[in-house]
Amino acid sequence: MLRYVVINPSVPGGRRTPTRARAVIDYIQKKLPLGEKIFDRDGVIAYRVNQAPLPARQSIAFGTEAAHVYQAEGWDRDESIADANANWGEPPECAGDFPGPGRFVLCPYGARAPVLPTRTLQRRRCASS
């Protein structure tokens, strides 16, 4: 989760023109929901990034490139198993980086195969969370 954006002078000890600085800030504002300016000194500017609310329910399409951002240790390559996109969890415990509080459930093959061994996902948080 991105919480802050810091804009440094382009060259250490160099000059940053107001036009160039404004162009960088304008670009960042188009790409990110910047909040308040929290620091502005010696050519260094910092903004807080506004956080979008998390959805009440979120699903992750394992076995696709979109899931890679959530997968940490223990996940094998993307593949198709029983006509569904999937990943194998290699060790007995696979780690994942999932946003938000609360619990999450991992259903192998959806709910179609309840006899498969259960896998455990560990929720990890960044130190700043």
Q: Which of 122, 116, 114, 70 is nearest to 94 (CA)?
A: 122
Residues facing residue 44 across a β-bridge: 41
The string of pLDDT tens digits covering residues 102-119 is 555 555 544 444 444 545
Q: What is the pTM of this model?
A: 0.47
Q: What are the pLDDT digits (tens) for 19-49? A: 777 888 899 999 999 999 999 998 889 999 9
Domain boundaries in the chain? Answer: 4-49, 65-123
Task: Please state, rounded to an integer, the average pLDDT across all residues of the chain.
Answer: 74
Cα(12)–Cα(8) distance, rounded to whole angstroms?
Answer: 8
Q: Distances from the Cα of 65 to the Cαs of 20, 57, 68, 78, 81, in angstroms?
A: 36, 20, 5, 8, 16
Q: What's the rounded Cα separation, in Å, for the pair 94 and 71? A: 8
